[in-house]
Chains A and B, each alone.
Chain A
Amino acid sequence: MAVFSRGFTGRRHEQNDALPPGQYLTEDFPVLSAGPTPKVPTDTWQFSVRNENDDVTTWNWDEFQALGPEEIHTDIHCVTRWSKLGTSWRGVSLDRVFEKIDTSFEYVMASSYGGYTTNVPLADLLDGKAWIATEFEGGPLDPEHGGPARLLVPHLYFWKSAKWVRGLQMLPTDEPGFWEQNGYNIYGDPWKEQRYW
C-alpha cells in the first residue's frame, strides 16, 4: 500500500516512456567510481580477451581502432537512479572483437585498469548491444568517465559498463564482479529494476 507524501506533487516533465521505472532524467553526467581515477595513456593501453584454453588475444590502441569504431546513440541508466537520454558515443562493437575469439563459454568477466570487475553474459555483449567506447559527445572519453576506453552495455545498469576496461575473461558460469559482490544485482536490467540483491 502506497504511503502518500503530504504536499508532494513532483516534477511531471520527468514522465517519459524512455525512462525505466524509478529513474529520473539528468542533463549532466554524474561520476560514480569506487576509488581514484586511473590515468591510462593510449600508447601503453592494451585490451585483451582470454578464452577457456587461456588463449589471449591482445590489441594495442591502434590495432583496436583498426577494428572499425562506429557511432552509437543510446540512453544510459545508472542504478543510483539517474538516466541520460540520447547520448552519443563512438566505439568498437564487441561483435568485431568476438569475430576473432574462439570460445564456447557463455559468461564474461570484464576487468579494468584499477582493479574493477563486472560480469556480463556473452549474449548481452553481442548482436549490436555492446561496445568498447573511446569517445563521448564528439571528444575523447574523459578519464573520470572511463577514458581512454570503457565498456558500453547500455541496456543494463551503467555499472556494467566498466570504466578503464582492459580485458575480458571467458567463464563457464556467471560469477559476481565488484559491485555484484557489494550489494548489486547479478544481471542489472533497468526495465525490471534489478538494482540490488
Chain B
Amino acid sequence: MTSTWKVGTVAAIHAETPTARTLELDVPDWPGNLAGQHLDLRLTAPDGYTATRSYSIASADSGPRVQLAVDRLPDGEVSPYLVNDVIVGDELEVRGPLGGWFVWRPEQTEPVQLIGGGSGIVPLMAMIRAHEAAGSTARFRLLYSVREPGDAFFAAELAELERSSEHLEITWVYTRKTPDGWPTPAGRVTPAILEASTISAAENPTVFVCGPTGFVEAVADILVELGHSSGSVKTERFGGA
C-alpha cells in the first residue's frame, strides 16, 4: 500500500508563480487519495544516492493522475530540481498517499473554513476541487494570504471558481503588495480580518490552516481567541521556527 514506491511519469507542467510550478504525474497504480493528503517523492542519482521529501497533493481524483505544486526553496535539495529541471516524460518515484488527519471527505456536511499562506494553498486546493467535483453543498470559505498577486498559486482557477461556485467564497489577503485599486493596504492577517472574513465559531466550522510556521501559529492563536475549539482547527505547518 503506502509502503511501496510507485513510478510516476510527468505528464504536464505549468508555472504557478516565479518560483513554483505544478507537476502532473501519471502514476498507473495510484490508489487514489483524499483531499489534503501528501506523498513522499524520491529522487535517485546515478550512483544510487537518494533524496526524499514530502509534498502535499493538489488533486483528489480517483484515477492515476496526481497533481503536485512545488515551491522552490532557496537552499533546497529536491525542490530546485522539481521546479527547474524536470521535464515532461521524466519518471519520478512516489509513495503514498500519506496522512489521515488533515483531510476533507465529501461526506462531510459541516461548514469548512480554509486558510492558506503561500504554497500552503496546495492541500486546500485539493479540498476545493473535491468539494466542486462532489457537487457538495457544504459551505466553503477560503482565505488566501500571499505576498503579492503574482505569488498566488492556481490564480486563474480560483478566479473562475470565485465567479461560478455557489458554495465557495474567497477572501484575498496581500501582505506586501496589493493589486491596483485594492480597497485595503497590504498587510498581514489580523484578528479583525479573520473575524470579518471567515466562518464564525458559532457556526462550528472545521478549519484547515496551512502555510509557513509563523503564519499558521499566528492564525491558529487568533482562531482560538475568536472562540474556535482547538479540536476543530487542523493545522499543517512547514519550515522552522
> Which of A's residues lie within 8 Å of B, judged by CB?
2-12, 14-15, 22, 24, 26, 28-38, 80-81, 114-115, 142, 144-145, 178-179, 181-183, 196-197
Interface size class of chain B, counting residues whose CB lies under 8 Å from the partner chain = 35 or more
Query: Are the CB atoms of A196 and B44 closer together than 8 Å?
Result: no
Query: Are the CB atoms of A10 and B98 closer together than 8 Å?
Result: no
Q: Which of A8, A142, A178 has most B Cβ within 10 Å? A: A8
B3 close to A (CB within 8 Å) = yes
Task: Name the one of A3, A38, A182 contacting B91, with C-beta atoms under 8 angstroms.
Answer: A3
Task: Name the one of A30, A38, A179 contacting B239, with C-beta atoms under 8 angstroms.
Answer: A30
Dominant SS at the B interface?
A: mixed
B17 close to A (CB within 8 Å) = no
Task: Name the one of B7, B40, B51, B234 contacting A35, with C-beta atoms under 8 angstroms.
Answer: B234
26 residue pairs bridging A and B, Cβ less than 8 Å apart: A3-B91, A4-B46, A5-B43, A5-B45, A10-B51, A12-B49, A14-B51, A28-B240, A29-B240, A30-B240, A31-B217, A33-B237, A34-B234, A34-B235, A36-B223, A36-B235, A37-B221, A38-B230, A81-B40, A115-B231, A142-B241, A144-B217, A182-B100, A183-B99, A196-B2, A196-B98
Contacts of B90 in A (CB 8 A): 5-6
Dominant SS at the A interface?
A: loop
Q: Which of A5, A6, A37 has most B Cβ within 10 Å? A: A5
- How long is the Cα–Cα vector from A166 to B43 in the complex, in angstroms? 40
Query: Are the CB atoms of B213 and A30 closer together than 8 Å?
Result: yes
Contacts of A15 in B (CB 8 A): 49
- How long is the Cα–Cα vector from A197 to B43 in the complex, in angstroms? 22
Contact flag A11-B44 (CB < 8 Å), given A182-B99, A183-B100: no
B66 close to A (CB within 8 Å) = no
**Nearest chain-B residue to A7 (Cβ)?**
B85
